[in-house]
Structure 1
């Protein structure tokens, strides 16, 4: 009898496990799900997603599934059901549905790093989003770039390149990351390197490693180390905020001062909210810019004809300048046609963000499939920007392709700054920093690659053991 009871218990247990696995692999849907696999229970296909691909091409995880299932497929990452899209028309439609069918969303790793609860809606109300966008544009938009930031960026870049030229070699991305971070932090909250410590930017460089990592918070994991760096960075930013609030003499007239002033009239501006806004801006800005500049420099070194054309454009600007000692003017910046083509090509190839995420608010019908409400939608920029259907020889570094690029191709297949109403407010700031960097670099210095620079996607763009180069002055 006992044996019969035991067999019954075991049978029920096995049946419940089988039922649970079946439900995992066949999620509920009021329609037809896109093809794909949900992977193993709990972890889904997360392990495969994070396996590095040693290529500039779309990650092997995405590429293999696009080949097997097509441009729209379902999977499960870090325990969450996801529909991955490399269809330009579907992506364009999704971006246009902000606030109606979709809302902004983060993977658990990034949500926890910026202090969001991924189990709740992370979509900012329309008013809050509009406020933040306007605030960013007021401090980093076109008019400020024209009047102030362009010249400040040039001065900072000249100083850094001069310092780097004294070194026998440098790990390029680390140095560029520090430069971009420092400049952005100064404009945000008058960052004082001596007061906050020179390794403040290093903490953010470490944090970025966790954005696309499995959110396993136990000692020894990458995510655990990054959370520790995040807490330290958050504390430093909070200390600056507290100082501004209690000491009027500490005011600098920067981004932080403006948002502190607005606390008096905007109820949503709590201390926690402000700290996370500052943290998020720093995290989002410096990695995209530094990774793209690093890739561009690597490709320019490897393509001397492109480098020569870039040098000629900037030498011509110097020759046409009335005052040889003056800095870059806004008119000169806008006239750098080939430089902008180089930047577009670097942004296209870099595809720094492994995915742009949205969450379905309601069931969405696309291409005969249903994306269930609550599911995450991942738009993969690399799958669009490296598509042979949109770009001839997509893995080739060819800035000249942008001379006659059709508007339709750009709108749906080139999304380095996102899409829809969430288009990055810092896009022009990014382009100005990159353009100014290339101007100072190619008119004053020579580059020699020493070692490294092996490209990989894991799934974010990385450079192996780093790109080590020598920067030497052209004159004297």
Structure 2
């Protein structure tokens, strides 16, 4: 019996010691305040907790405000830790705090200076990093996990496809696609806008990337991405029936289809389609190439997903904002109708000059993506120990830059939750700034930013000059932690009449 008691005591001491060091990581300096949550689980559940607000995620907002709760007596804290039941609920730590998400220690930053520093030191003190669960989803050789020369090489490949010169040539096709879809939707009783715009953008992007035509395809490629999306930002539990498991299966099926399409193209023996697959095959055949088929397919997967999912979310939210604010709609419509009036031929297509003249439209897009906060966190990893404002960021720790905390900062944006495109009047946005990072920042500033803006601006042009609409149902925002429309956003679309 004594041996059992001694064994139990040793076990308790061991667990207590382990839990204590889990909650109090060793550091050469001073870690930011914060809680590491439960051992192994950390604060993952709180991070993924859903909310229905456009405000800063509660997980971050609740921890940003300072209080005295982290001055708890160490002995009391150790006692709670030993029973693994203590969570620092309601504690406030300021704009920089530590936590643990999906088993990894993370420094969360809502500090503009630290965010800017992280992006500025990309490739030197920090490098791109995402949790292992994200890597499983996007592929271990996806562009977000590659660094140095290989990343720059892939970035240049994408810019050849979606850079300004290519977009000038694509502009007529983007306009034709938007006009055709809007015409089709106007003949339907109702349209679920998120799904409809996602389908439109996916088909356009897939045609540009791999000459994929859904109408003539034997398999539906996008169906696999729908399954993928449903579990993308969910708790990472890979068990049949969970959203995360379905997500992984969606990726597996999509990758199989992409590989088959690439093999079919390879078998065509030089018949060019002038798309991304042609470029990939040309690169793969070069002597000494650093490109592999696995990297190319992972890149294709990421491009297809990123191009349609984020843009369709932004467009859906944009139409909701227009529906809720007639004065903004009136001003946007006036700008686009002026473009038509100034043409010699009103039936001619949009020109690049006309696109670049859409001053208020770009203000509208900036305001939409500021409030959309589609990406709730941008992850980097510290390559070595870093000192910042009296705190230490240990080597190997992740840093999560929090764009919503920047975009909804009342010190920078007056009434930050109010949709007001005019706040961008006279403001030039070239890349990311300390107060605007809707498209990332630093060396990894999103290479598809211009493509996104072209699609949004052209779609809005076709919509407001030729159609009117009325919301039918849905439009409720849900974040977990990414942006979603759980009930969709259903509208009735009608062609404008001369008196409309």
TM-score grouping bracket, smaller chain normalisation: over 0.9
Contact 1:109 1:214 in 2 (8 A): no
For 1:391 and 1:70, how far apart are their aligned partners in 2? Answer: 19
Higher relative contact order (CA 8 A, sep 6+): 1
Return closer, same or farther for 1:219/1:106 CA change in 2, 3 Å cut-off. same
What are the equivalent positions in structure 2 for 1:12-411 lying under 5 Å apart?
Answer: 12-67=10-65, 68-116=92-140, 123-146=145-168, 148-196=169-217, 199-248=220-269, 250-265=271-286, 266-405=288-427, 411=433
2:449 matched to 1:451? no
Shift of 1:297: 0.4
For 1:410 and 1:392, how far apart are their aligned partners in 2? Answer: 20
Q: 2:486 aligns with which of 464, 472, 476?
A: 464
Question: Secondary structure of the residue that 1:411 maps to in structure 2?
Answer: coil
Contact 2:64 2:96 in 1 (8 A): yes
For 1:36 and 1:197, how far apart are their aligned partners in 2? Answer: 52
The TM-score normalised by the length of structure 1 is 0.95
Question: Secondary structure of the residue that 2:433 maps to in structure 1?
Answer: helix
Contact 1:360 1:371 in 2 (8 A): yes
For 1:396 and 1:226, how far apart are their aligned partners in 2? Answer: 34
For 1:106 and 1:31, how far apart are their aligned partners in 2? Answer: 25
For 2:326 and 2:42, how far apart are their aligned partners in 1? Answer: 45
For 2:163 and 2:141, how far apart are their aligned partners in 1? Answer: 30
Return closer, same or farther for 1:195/1:31 CA change in 2, 3 Å cut-off. farther
Give the aligned length. Answer: 471
Shift of 1:108: 2.6
For 1:475 and 1:254, how far apart are their aligned partners in 2? Answer: 39
Contact 2:128 2:147 in 1 (8 A): no
Residue by residue over 1:269-315, the C-alpha shift from the partner in whole angstroms, topping out at 9 and shown as x without a partner, is 11111110100111222121111111110010000010011111111
Q: Structure 2 regions of 5+ residues with no counterpart?
A: 66-91
RMSD: 1.9
Question: Secondary structure of the residue that 1:395 maps to in structure 2?
Answer: coil
Question: Secondary structure of the residue that 2:124 maps to in structure 1?
Answer: coil
Contact 2:432 2:440 in 1 (8 A): no
Shift of 1:415: 0.7
Question: Secondary structure of the residue that 2:437 maps to in structure 1?
Answer: coil
Out of 448-457 and 200-209, give the one that drifted further: 200-209
Shift of 1:406: 7.3
The TM-score normalised by the length of structure 2 is 0.91
